[in-house]
A and B are shown apart, each in its own frame.
Chain A
Amino acid sequence: MIPVEYNTAVVLLGTAALGLAAGSTGSLALLRGRALLSDALAHATLPGICLAFLLTGSRSHPALLLGALATGALGVVLVAALSRRGRIKEDAAIGAVLACFFGAGIALSGAIQRRSPDAAQAGLDGFLLGQPAGMLLSEALTIAGVAVATLLLVALLAKEWKLVCFDPDFAAIEGWPVRLLDLLLMLLITTTVVLALPAVGVVLAAAILIIPATAARLWVDRLVPMLILASSFGVLASVTGTLLSARFPALPTGPLIVLAAGSLFLISLLVSPRRGIVARATAERRRRRERERRRLLGTIFTEQEAAPESPVSEGALARRRVWGPGRLRAHLEDARRRGWIRWGPRGIELTDAGRQRAARIVRASRIWEQYLLSQAQIDRDLIDLDAEEIGHLLPPHLVAELERSLADRGLLPLGSEGSPA
């Protein structure tokens, strides 16, 4: 254990609990398409905080957070009303509400600042970017309590929310109260955002919901693992940010927490095994190389087909201008190593294995070409130009028909008929 002061320990408890709740809530928000809305919600809390301060004159958290809850919820209701009745696109409604409410909040806090500079310095500024350093034990325990309640609720309703997030129409047909479940989810999001305000502030509150959830999605493909991982990322980011801020007091805690979450996201984006940038690029490179191999075999096959007596020379392939001379040489060498071609006395020859594969490739590509040329209704979804076997993609009678019209014009590759599937 790293020795920490009492104050830091309290803040750690509060922010870690916050990260725990925000990860799970954020995952559901993300899957229901509410990420942007939760950002608008966070910004819409600022006027509520200011109004609560003006009305009560108190700097206590409960009063200010109640104010935050009120205008935050008002902002969400407004977005819903605008995008439903007013025929405004939801993103436009979110943008408008976010800016107007935040603007109103900034104006109000400016007015407060002029009237009583001390109060503003002490209380309200903290809500803009978060100021968890002064967190009381009671506040930290409240956050922890709400976090536990959040996790219990998510565990209880995971099945119902999964259904509503994936296919709300199906949920409605099965008799689930979709609007009630949506409302509950929105309440959960609102509570989490409001709870996050003292720690990370109005501007960054939504980030601790969205970023850990997005990062977790990159690693796992099922809902419950995603909830667990997102919450873990939330805790990790909170603890890292808080400890860094304790070590370097000049750096504010809230932004450090968000930056820690951002770093986790960046790492995930790079190295996650299936969705990461590195993994995707590798797979794409492999696919492209495979395509080049097929193209080379197909080209050699058609050259040979055009002039069966004369051997295929490297020069003839180069004249196709598909590959530069260096590339072509490398591809040929690769094909030779794989046992598809050999250098004969008079040029390039396909081996038996190479000829079989080449015939399959050419046959598939000509059938697709014939399909595109001859069919009135083309089903784009069915076409897979990488597939060497098409028997399972097109109906057998259609394949037979396409083959016949190819054979009539002498375009059906010899030796491809009995090719293994």
Chain B
Amino acid sequence: MSGAPPPAIEVHDLTVSYHAKPVLWDIDVEIPAGQLVGVVGPNGAGKSTLLRAILGLVRPASGWVRIDGEPRRRGRHGCGYVPQRESVDWDFPVDVLDVVLMGTYGNLGWFRRPGRRERERAMHALEQVGMQDLARRQIAELSGGQQQRVFLARALAQDAPVYLMDEPFSGVDAATEAAIFEVLRTLRAAGRTVVVVHHDLQTVEEYFDHVLLLNLRLVAAGPIRDTFTRENLLATYGGRLTLLDEAAEAVRRGSVDTTAWRPPPDGAS
């Protein structure tokens, strides 16, 4: 086959509903490979559900999803995933390294235990998020930002071509926010595709190349420059005034700071 490479993620006709209430309505979108992609929209817009549908964790009423041009593989080498921090019990009896090692289980297969190679991979992932010194820390003793970084390290240990992250920037301290963004850029530089559910309109232009504006339906999708516009944000957020002002502010700032998106200089945080 020749021509353009297949999109990293292709979603066709996707509708998800709980009983009669739609959560996502007829989503049709292609996500290009090798980009940082933000998924933006108001609360209850279905952002997390979109990720969960792409991952196969919710059964859609209709539609299908392809990853790298193929039907989603239930097994290994699928998607890296960073769930919302609140989705697990942080009082579980494991330490930081145990959690990160879980990212290597997929390659290990049944019954085999993580060995030296897996441990090295996990430690490398921890170094990337700046947590190598806390490898033996019980997870209940971590701060919120550190917990988020553990989840990110676990996803890095998965070593997947496509990453899906649900609000990794929410409720994290400044150091963690910088560390996460650094990891995102490293992933992009390695040709990975990263899709991030994001709630902070102020940082969308700084962080992402491509954006999906979502509110039950897909309002717009495309490169930041063409898509993250005032009209589109109005269409996404409707009459929610405070958010609207914030959106206007973000757009105004954006028009001053960046005419076209450029990666920030190295070492910026």
Q: Check: A379 CB closer than 8 A to any chain B CB.
A: yes
Q: List, in ascending order, chain A residues with CB within 8 A of B81's CB.
A: 169-170, 173
Instruction: Say whether A173 contacts B173, CB under 8 Å.
Output: no
On chain A, the residues within 8 Å of B173 by CB distance are 382, 392-394
Residue B76 at the A interface, CB < 8 A? yes
B175 interface residue per 8 A CB criterion: yes
Q: Which residue of A lies closest to B242 (CB)?
A: A376
Give the distance to chain A from B200, nearest Cβ to Cβ, in Å: 9
The reply to whether the CB of A110 lies closer than 8 angstroms to some CB of chain B is no
Chain A min CB distance to B15 (Å): 21
Interface contact A162-B94, CB-CB below 8 Å: yes
B172: chain A residues at CB < 8 Å are 381
- With a 10 A CB-CB cut-off, give which of A172, A173, A223, A393 has the most chain B CB atoms: A173
Q: A163-B105, A169-B57, A393-B173 are in contact. Are A174 and B95 (CB under 8 A)?
A: no
Contact with B along A143-174 (1 / 0, CB 8 A): 00000000000001101101101110110111
Given A156-B111, A166-B88, A222-B94, are A174 and B76 also a contact pair (CB < 8 Å)?
Answer: yes
Question: For the complex, is B78 an interface residue (Cβ under 8 Å from A)?
Answer: yes
For A222, the closest partner residue in chain B by CB is: B93
Chain B residues with Cβ under 8 A from A159's Cβ? 105, 108, 111-114
State the Cβ distance, A398 to closest chain B Cβ, in Å. Answer: 8
Known: A163-B102, A166-B99, A173-B78. A393 touches B174 (CB 8 A): yes
* Complex Cα gap A220–B144 (Å): 22
Q: Assess whether B94 is in contact with A174, with CB atoms less than 8 Å apart.
A: no
Is A408's CB within 8 Å of the partner chain B?
no
Q: Report whether B94 and A223 are in contact in the complex, using a CB–CB cutoff of 8 Å.
A: yes
Q: Which of B17-74 contact A (CB under 8 A)?
A: 52, 55-57, 73-74
B55, B79, B98 — most chain A CB neighbours (10 Å): B98
Which residues of B, 86-141, contact A by the 8 Å Cβ criterion?
A: 87-89, 92-95, 98-99, 102, 105-106, 108, 110-114, 138, 140
Give complex CA distance A398, B173 in Å: 12
Cβ of A217: which chain B residues have Cβ within 8 Å of it?
93
Given A166-B102, A174-B78 in contact, is the A31-B92 Cβ separation under 8 Å? yes
Residue A315 interfacial (CB < 8 Å): no
Task: Give CA–CA (A398, B73) in the complex, Å.
Answer: 44
Indicate whether B75 reaches chain A with its CB closer than 8 angstroms: yes
Find out whether the CB atom of A395 lies under 8 angstroms from the CB atom of B94. Answer: no
Nearest-Cβ distance from residue A232 to partner chain B, whole angstroms = 16
Identify the closest chain A residue to B139 (Cβ). Answer: A221
B10 to chain A, nearest CB (A): 18
Q: Are B76 and A381 interface neighbours, CB within 8 A?
A: no
Give every chain B residue within 8 A of A162 (Cβ-Cβ). 94, 98, 102
Measured CA separation A398–B174 after assembly (Å): 10
Task: Please give the number of chain A residues whose Cβ is less than 8 angstroms from any Cβ of chain B in the complex.
Answer: 34
- A226 interfacial contact with B, CB 8 Å: yes
Interface of chain B residues 153 through 175 with chain A (CB within 8 A): 154, 158, 171-175
CA distance A105 to B152 in the complex (A): 51
B144 partner, pick from A163, A376, A381, beta carbons under 8 A: A381
Closest A residue to B74 using CB positions: A175
Q: List chain A residues, Cβ under 8 A from B78.
A: 173-175
In the complex, A339 has a CB within 8 A of chain B: no
Known pairs A163-B105, A382-B171, A393-B174; A169 contacts B83 (CB<8 A): yes
Closest to B81 in A: A173
Q: How far is the CB of A374 from chain B (nearest CB, A)?
A: 16
Please state if A175 and B171 are interface contacts (CB–CB under 8 Å): no
Bound-state Cα–Cα, A169 to B56, Å: 10
On chain A, the residues within 8 Å of B52 by CB distance are 169
Residue from A160, A169, A220, A393 within 8 A of B87 (CB atoms): A169
Please state if B83 and A166 are interface contacts (CB–CB under 8 Å).
no
Residues of A within 8 A of B112 (CB): 159
Query: Would you call A396 an interface residue if the criterion is a C-beta within 8 Å of the partner chain's C-beta atoms?
Result: yes
> In the bound complex, what is the Cα–Cα distance between A3 and B106 (angstroms)?
52
Q: Give the docked Cα–Cα distance between A292 and B55 (Å).
A: 50
B174 interface neighbour in A223, A376, A394, Cβ under 8 Å: A394
Q: Of all chain B residues, which has the CB nearest A397?
A: B174
CA distance A387 to B114 in the complex (A): 38
Residue of B nearest to A172 (CB): B57
20 contacts between A and B (CB under 8 A): A159-B105, A159-B112, A162-B98, A163-B105, A166-B99, A166-B102, A167-B87, A169-B83, A170-B102, A172-B57, A173-B81, A175-B73, A220-B93, A221-B94, A221-B140, A381-B144, A392-B173, A394-B174, A395-B174, A396-B174
Beyond A159-B108, A392-B173, 8 extra complex contacts between A and B, CB < 8 Å: A160-B110, A167-B102, A175-B76, A217-B93, A226-B93, A382-B171, A394-B173, A395-B174
Q: Which residues of A contact B (CB under 8 A)?
A: 31, 156-157, 159-160, 162-163, 165-167, 169-170, 172-176, 217, 220-223, 226, 376, 379-382, 392-396, 398
Residues of B within 8 A of A (CB): 52, 55-57, 73-76, 78-79, 81, 83, 87-89, 92-95, 98-99, 102, 105-106, 108, 110-114, 138, 140, 144, 154, 158, 171-175, 177, 242
Top 10 A-B residue pairs of the complex, sorted by shortest distance between their CB atoms: A175-B75, A381-B171, A395-B174, A174-B106, A221-B138, A381-B144, A167-B88, A166-B92, A175-B74, A226-B93
